[in-house]
Amino acid sequence: MAVPHFCNIGVLHTNLAGISDHANYAPCSLETLTTKGYQYWALGHVHNRQVLCRDPYIVYPGNIQGRHGKEQGEKSCELVNVSDSFAISLKTIPTSVVPWLEIDLDATTCSSAEEVYESLRNALTKQSAQQRDRVQALRLRIFGNTDAHLQLSRNPEQVRSEAISIANECGGGLLWVERVQIATLPKLDREALLLRDDPVGEVVRIAADLRRDSASLTGWNMVEELRKKLPTDLSEGGEPVAPDSAAVTAALQEAEALLLARLSALEPL
């Protein structure tokens, strides 16, 4: 319990119940901490800064450097000042050496890969102006229903190479592209495609049937087998592979787009 007439500070490595997707390590409740009579609780385990309570202060300061692409943005530590009357004030101090950032690029209005690259050049030029002479680790996500989809999806490695080249051009070596995700879809008249009596129509009909009952996708035997066979380093950690409904639905959408892109290379849609 708290010692009277002293500033009582608790340091606890815990996953406070119900606030994080982290492993449920040493769980406790907010009520338990607030009733201990302490003036400040410094919590560890969750890597996102969170001030959970101000009377008393219960704080996750987060970590001082993002370790991977899911720990995005500026990281920091907390300077805690305590007055003679035990009044507490916080000052957040930025500490990231290399911040992780995700840049979403909407390619909806682009009619070609070249237009996508020009949009990317504009986005990275703006990002470079904010970098404060630090290396930034970037994840690029290109999305949207676009006429450029076929060009982008045919050769993802070429898109990645172009993105890296543009980043070097715009950032003077301070923009590091860690990942490029092509999440575009072709501009399609799906109603017309559903009526086609050919492989294109078959792909669209199968995808439509699966999409209507997306929750059942996770019950597929192949998904269950994948879940069982995932090694620990993929099923856990900072970026776990989780074959849940959302992930399987996203994979379905990606597979449909890829098949239609391949088929349209043989015959325009």
What is the value of pTM for the model shown? 0.71
- What is the number of structural domains in the chain? 2
User: Which of the listed residues 94, 126, 154 is the one where a domain comes to its end?
Assistant: 94
Q: Provide DSSP, 197-228.
A: SSHHHHHHHHHHHHHHTGGGGGGSHHHHHHHH
pLDDT tens by residue, 143-181:
998 999 889 988 999 999 999 999 999 999 999 999 999
Cα 95 → chain centroid: 21
Q: How far apart are CA 51 and CA 32, in angstroms?
A: 16
pLDDT at 16: 86
As a whole number of angstroms, the distance between CA 63 and CA 96 comes to: 9
Measure the CA–CA gap between 86 and 69, rounded to whole angstroms.
Answer: 39
Clarify whether residues 115 and 235 are in a common domain.
yes
Which strand (E) or helix (H) includes residue 234? helix 232-235
Closest CA to 136 of 200, 185, 186, 65: 65
Radius of gyration of the CA atoms of the chain, in A: 24
Q: Which domain holds residue 157?
A: 100-266
Domain co-membership, 90 together with 113: no
What's the confidence (pLDDT) of residue 81?
96
Q: What tokens appear for 144 in the block?
A: 């949207």
Q: Please indicate, yes or no, whether residues 169 and 88 belong to a single structural domain of this protein.
A: no
Question: pLDDT by residue (tens digit) across 173-208?
Answer: 999 999 999 988 888 777 888 888 888 888 888 888
What percentage of the chain reaches a pLDDT higher than 70?
A: 83
Among 94, 119, 153, the domain-final residue is 94
Longest alpha-carbon distance in the chain: 82
Residue 95 predicted with pLDDT over 70: yes
Q: Is residue 4 part of a domain?
A: no
Q: Helix %, strand %, coil % for the chain, to 5?
A: 40, 25, 40
217 contacts 252 by C-beta, under 8 angstroms? yes
Q: With beta carbons less than 8 A apart as the criterion, state whether 174 and 104 touch.
A: no
* Tens digits of residue pLDDT in 45-75: 889 999 999 999 999 999 999 999 889 999 9
Do 173 and 66 share a domain, yes or no?
Answer: no
Give the Cβ contact number of residue 149 at 10 Å.
25
Q: What are the φ/ψ torsions at residue 262 (nearest 5 degrees)? A: -65, -40
* CA-closest candidate to residue 187, choices 266, 251, 264: 264
Q: Which of these three, 72, 94, 116, is where a domain ends? A: 94
Would you say residue 35 lies in a domain?
yes
User: Can you read off the two tokens belonging to residue 256?
Assistant: 């449909």
Give bridge partners of residue 82 from the DSSP assignment.
88
